Amino acid sequence: MIYDYNPTTVFLNTLEVPDFGNTAIRAVTHDGLELYLIISTSQGKTLLIEFGPVMPELPILPKGYKLSVDTISFKEAKIDNAIYNLLNNSKYPAEKAEVIDVDDALCALPKMNEVLEFHMSEVH
* pTM of the complete model: 0.86
Convert the pLDDT of each residue in 53-79 to its tens digit: 999 887 778 888 999 999 999 999 999
CA-nearest of 112, 70, 59, 64 to 89 is 64
Across 2-39, b (16+ Cβ under 10 Å) vs e yields: eeeeeeeeeeeeeeebeebeebbbbbbbeeebbbbbbb
Distance CA(84)–CA(37), nearest Å, equals: 11
Convert the pLDDT of each residue in 89-105 to its tens digit: 989 999 999 999 999 99
